[in-house]
Chain A
Amino acid sequence: GQSLEQPSEVTAVEGAIVQINCTYQTSGFYGLSWYQQHDGGAPTFLSYNALDGLEETGRFSSFLSRSDSYGYLLLQELQMKDSASYFCAVRDRDNAGNMLTFGGGTRLMVKP
């Protein structure tokens, strides 16, 4: 089966940079995704890495190292609205069910 580890909570101040790490264990691997979820809201897709390296989308970037089974989400120029939970997710290539498996989520609190 699959398992993903990410910190449960991170606190940062407005304007700062924060990195949320994710390590995973899967029997196969076909990409690492990141989702954002505000309290009471739906998870929304942020980014996807299939290959090693950094993907940048505005203030958010995501990194993947397949050899280390590790990735991170980098949030720059933090804003109060970035306070939310962030989930990493993997799709196991061998997973006949074809679904995404999510980590437990990292709750980010942005302070003024």
Chain B
Amino acid sequence: NAGVMQNPRHLVRRRGQEARLRCSPMKGHSHVYWYRQLPEEGLKFMVYLQKENIIDESGMPKERFSAEFPKEGPSILRIQQVVRGDSAAYFCASSPVNLRASSGNTIYFGEGSWLTVV
């Protein structure tokens, strides 16, 4: 049973370019979460999605960032016109059910996508 798959693992972009990060949740999981981690810092929530729905995007910057989780295919985090401050590790996580309905807090993380903006 494959875990959460993220690609690319490492991505280098020049300032002003676009970055697209992809995430395939674990089999049977329909809830996807994106987190950002700056060097030596904790995980900051960005967005929570279900298929074709953005449930909570309270952690997403208002500009340049967008996320989707289409009916078919992986979830995508898109960063337009990247700046140096976007350099970070972006982690995707998934869970099988709405955490409210579950008895635990377990979400499963992918290996992350490391974005470097030069």
Residues of chain A lying within 8 A (CB to CB) of residue B99: 91, 98-100
Q: Are B42 and A97 in contact (CB under 8 A)?
A: no
Report the stretch among B12-20, B63-71, B76-84, B105-113 that lies at the interface.
B105-113
Known pairs A42-B112, A43-B91; A100 contacts B107 (CB<8 A): yes
Minimum CB–CB distance for B95 against chain A, Å: 9
Evaluate whether A97 and B108 lie within 8 angstroms (CB atoms) in the complex, with A91-B99, A102-B42, A105-B41 already known.
no
**CA distance in complex: A48, B99 (Å):** 13
Interface residue B58 (Cβ < 8 Å from any Cβ of A): yes
Quote the shortest CB–CB distance from B34 to chain A (angstroms): 10
CB distance from A73 to the nearest CB of B (A): 14
In the complex formed, the residue of A with least CB distance to B6 is A42
B104 at the interface (CB under 8 A from A): yes
Q: Which residues of chain A are within 8 angstroms of B31 by Cβ–Cβ distance? A: 98
